[in-house]
Amino acid sequence: MGDVDAARADLKEAYKLDPANTAVKKELIAIKKSLEDMKKKEKARLQKAFSSKSGSLLYSDKEAEEKRKLEEKKEQERREAEALKKRKQEWEDECVRRMSSEPPEEAISYEDWDKAMKKKDEDEEKARKKAKKEEEDRKKEEKRKAREAQKANSQNKDDDSSDDELTESELRSLRGYKKTSDGRTTSYFNREQTEKEKELIGCIKPKKLEEVSSASSSAAASPTSLNNTSSVGSAWNAAGTTWEEKDTSEWCRACLTECLKEATAVFTASNAEQSTYVAVVKEVQSLTGDASVALAGGKKRYIYDFHTSVKYDIIDDGDEQIASGTLALPDINSATTQKKNWM
């Protein structure tokens, strides 16, 4: 209320200086009426709060809500009064400028000045929106021209390349793959064996056992040596008739982790305008479970049950990551993956 009183005092001073000013008269009457209404409402509120019928209303939630609303209203009125005072000051400055100009201009009424200022603000806002839209359209046009130029340049490179080299479109379709030394196209993460490794593996490849050509050699063979040759279990379980199980969890977890890290999925574009996407495994998370090799009835059984999830990234032609996610693999076991190439 103090700000309203100050505004009323300022208006009274302005009225004394210019009694013929209609705008000052209107504002003075409006403030006077507003003060009277505020006093009446305050008086009624106090009467209600301290009346015998109200009881404990002063401390009730309803009274607190009314108090909050009243404070918000006062704050809003205070802000409006400050804005009005500032606008009045701007109007007075404009009137002083007009009267002190050469040649002097006639002072403008507050209503006309306020209307002109609102129109000016609207025009400026429209101009800002128009300039912003033009700038956005210009940027879109530049991007479109850049894409067309890049596409034309790519087509020229494809036309000029030799038959022995891959074109740009072929490189995009084959991204995520590589060629081995023998000309095969395989996954980028596939590891090619060296000649030394191939030689070692060639020496230990299983070979078919030739049948015994003569009865003498069969008779000469001792029972112990025959048992050792056909043994599928431990030394104490050469016949394989007793249940025998060996824990291979650690080795299987390491191999499964390595296989999951090397797994990829490729979406190859059908034409040059489309993009090729490659999904690669970024991380193997929380691999749990166990595995074992069991021997029963002379046969080996591979038993395993693992649970894991993998984080993956999806990469486009420009080697830019466009998406990522997590794939849950809750059932990797010998029952669900038997005779299936799920990797």
HEC-encoded secondary structure of 31-83: HHHHHHHHHHHHHHHHHHHCCCCCCCHHHCHHHHHHHHHHHHHHHHHHHHHHH
| CA-to-CA separations, 295 to 114, 305, 333, 339, in angstroms, rounded | 97, 18, 18, 19
For residue 327 the two structure tokens come to 């794939």
pLDDT number for residue 230: 43
For residue 203 the two structure tokens come to 């020496």
Blockwise average pLDDT, block size 10, the chain, 343 residues: 72 80 82 84 80 55 85 91 88 85 83 87 92 92 87 70 58 64 73 77 65 46 42 66 86 92 83 79 91 85 91 86 90 75 49
For residue 198 the two structure tokens come to 């191939």
**Separation of alpha carbons 301 and 295, rounded Å:** 6
pLDDT number for residue 251: 93
CA 22 from chain centre, in angstroms, equals 61
Annotate 315-326 with DSSP letters as a single string: E-TTS-EEEEEE
Beta-carbon contacts of 16 under 8 Å, excluding residues fewer than 6 positions away, are none
Radius of gyration of the chain (CA): 45
Planar angle of CA 139, 145, 150, nearest 5 degrees: 125
pLDDT number for residue 215: 45
**Separation of alpha carbons 228 and 238, rounded Å:** 7
SS3 content of the chain, % helix, strand, coil (to 5): 55, 20, 30
For residue 94 the two structure tokens come to 């404009």
pLDDT number for residue 129: 93
Q: Is the pTM of this model over 0.85?
A: no
**Separation of alpha carbons 109 and 293, rounded Å:** 100
Angle between helices 22-49 and 61-100 (to 10 degrees): 170
Tokens 């403008």 map to which residue? 108
**Separation of alpha carbons 128 and 125, rounded Å:** 5
Angle between helices 2-17 and 22-49 (to 10 degrees): 150
C-alpha torsion 63→64→65→67, nearest 10:
90
